[in-house]
Chains A and B, each alone.
Chain A
């Protein structure tokens, strides 16, 4: 099973910088499941430049075929069913804000997308600042 081949983690996701209550759950093509608490997306993904609405976008694309993926952040949950032959990426979006007397880091969103032949055909983004799920599909 794919999930059994993944490197196992001992470090809680919060200590890796993932906000509390935020996680992913990916169901591979063989039905096995990878979860945030026990696996690191970066350990089974690779860097790839894809076409996102006509512009290049650098992504961490999963090395294995996924058929379903769920991500959560700030109490919002979104799930994508992945068509056969497509690849999946996901990302955290963070912000460093500096102003007079203020310097802070925030995770402001979490997203994932589906790639077919190097082109992003769907993306979902949990916008924590606006508490809503955004996205695109072509």
Chain B
């Protein structure tokens, strides 16, 4: 087996690759505006695929979780840097599925809306795997089951007093695998 091939994609055909995920607000007077303090951003939906292009011998992902950091600074990946604004980012699972030909076969679920980085919450563990089981698992299509995906919704809940700053977050998707 080879390592998983992960891609973040839109949640509608043709499922193009997205990066980064942007948090904007639509309001009377315009779309894609900065998010006002004390308000929520629009929802952003994205899918995480394993092996979208169906390469041979690709490993499945186990024990998946997501978290958010204040930025992409490598120090923010360890316990040496405290979470601050990433607690504004909320994420929950909205679906899963797989298909043997073109990835699809979507099943909708509503996961627990989670503010990652809030005290005591350092990650979001998907409630369903792509096979519909309760283990956070994402198949790669090379085990006779099909190409899998998990779908997530995310939004920013900006507190009052956030001011007029521009914030950069890093979303991190963790998984285990074995070659």
Contacts and interface: CB of A to CB of B under 8 A. Distances in A.
B62 A60 contact: yes
Nearest to B64: A58
Given A91-B178, A92-B178, A99 B173 contact: no
A103 B17 CA distance: 11
Contacts of A100: 20, 72, 168
B3 to A, nearest CB: 3
A129 interface: yes
Contacts of B112: none
Interface of A: 13, 15-18, 40-43, 45, 47, 49, 56-60, 90-103, 105, 108, 129-130
Contact of A93 (B8, B59, B137, B176): B176
A57 B62 CA distance: 9
B63 interface: yes
B178 A60 contact: yes
Given A97-B170, A98-B171, A92 B179 contact: yes
Contacts of B4: 94
Contact of A99 (B63, B170, B179): B170
Interface residues of B, number: 36
Interface of B: 1-4, 6, 8, 19-21, 59-60, 62-63, 69, 71-72, 74, 77-79, 134-137, 168-179
B146 to A, nearest CB: 16
Contacts, number: 104
Nearest to B169: A99
Given A13-B179, A59-B62, A94 B174 contact: yes
B168 A40 contact: no
A70 B168 CA distance: 40
B63 A45 contact: no
A98 B178 contact: no
A17 B177 CA distance: 10
A111 to B, nearest CB: 8
Contacts of B60: 47
Contact of A40 (B1, B171, B173): B1
Contacts of A94: 3-4, 174-177
B173 A96 contact: yes
Given A47-B60, A92-B178, 9 more contacts: A16-B2, A16-B3, A18-B3, A40-B1, A42-B1, A95-B173, A96-B8, A96-B173, A99-B72
